[in-house]
Structure 1
Amino acid sequence: MTKFNELQKIVSLQDKRISELEKRPMEPVVQAVVELQNTVQLQKARISDLEERVFQLESLQTNEEQKPNTSLGREMLLEANETNANLNVNLVRKGRLLIQPTSLPIESVAFYAYISSTVPASTPHHILVFDKVITDVGNAYHSHMGTFIAPNSGLYVFTWTIRCYSNHYHSSELLADNNIVNVIYLGPGNAIDGTVTGTAVVHVNQGDDVFIRTGRLSNGNILSDENGRSSFAGWILV
């Protein structure tokens, strides 16, 4: 009905324009009048079609109210139910697509460094500087101070190895954001040269620093040469 009313308004406006143009008997105007008349005829035909459709719809509605169980009514009802069912299925599918977990790419972060030569480490809580950098993906390990500064928040894996010998002994600590995460200890005695390795999986926030320092029980040198390296490594997991 809205479309029908709009077309009637268009026809009225066009009739008014034709009347105005007929007062100006110039050639272009006459041609425009002819075109408008053709357009009006087409619009009137469309209006007639719409009137017929409105009449049919009104008749159908009346019949449905009087005979709700007719074959035509059942067919229309089944068609409407099928349409609604398809719409619900599509909405459910779209909803599932919206709630599907997404796999976001993890920016690669990894480093590995070792101590280039033997260092004295008898002072407790002394930060160990692993000055020889082999790998530094993400440029997050700072060899001049032995500290890794997380470029992104995430779950990280850290591992470090300490070597000592003779009557020297060492405990060493892994700290993340100034919190002790793990501690390892090695006291080889007078007879052996040995290494000890520690590992930790810890969540680190962006900007937090992670480093290795000597623990309370530290005496003597930490070895690192071609026979065995004292090293520090880490990488982002998720």
Structure 2
Amino acid sequence: VDVRIVAATNKKLEEAVAEKKFREDLYYRLNVIKIELPPLRKRKEDIEVLAEHFIKKESPDLNISVSVLNALIENNWKGNVRELEAVIKRAAIFAKSSGRNLVQLSDLPKEIVKESTIEFEDLVLESLRNKNFSFSSISETAKDLGRVNRTLVAENFRGIVFKTLAENNYDVDLSVRQIAGTDNQVVNERVRNKVNTFLQNLENDINNQNVKDFPAIKSAFRTKYKNLPRRFHIYLDEVIKYFLKSDI
């Protein structure tokens, strides 16, 4: 019989042999080609590949959101690959039971989310997605995130919209799908309405200005920048410049 045996262990077999806890002859029979595999926490670059593999095993239609992936990468994974697989299986069950094709932060164990340094904007987007961008989703998200100011949530969402539009070369359809994180047409239409409202308001305000150069427009739009988190200012700049170039 021609067979090939692949054996794995988390024990130090050399020490076990020396201590007479593992048969020396068996050790040398098995130890033909030795591969040292570091723990998962020391090879963070493998986490995304493994997570994608495990989620597709559960369902080919499931995907993992960016914020979830970041949380997985930051986790220490004391249980190594088996723990990661178990977490993905759990997340897949929760996502599918909610009728979603995108794994979100709410699908992960609380201890993993708690230990991650996820950006506030990611938490906002995850919460809005969980609430299907309903009319009350901004207020509910503000409450869920520790009773933060409703304006803070709304302005982070406005910044997310500008950022996504700028990164997608102002393709509204693509931006809407990315923000919504689902193929659900009702949810996509809600997001589209919000995106179009932001753009229409901005376009109207630009049209109402007597000047058309960017520095003057930006100076006149101080209130639009006031509550917008500073990391999003560059994206609002880009959207304004896009409108100015379009000769609206």
The higher-RCO structure (CA 8 Å, 6+ apart) is: 1
- Range class of TM-score, shorter chain: under 0.3
**Which has a greater percent of helix?**
2
**Which has a greater percent of strand?**
1
Q: How high is the TM-score relative to the length of structure 1?
A: 0.19
Q: How high is the TM-score relative to the length of structure 2?
A: 0.18
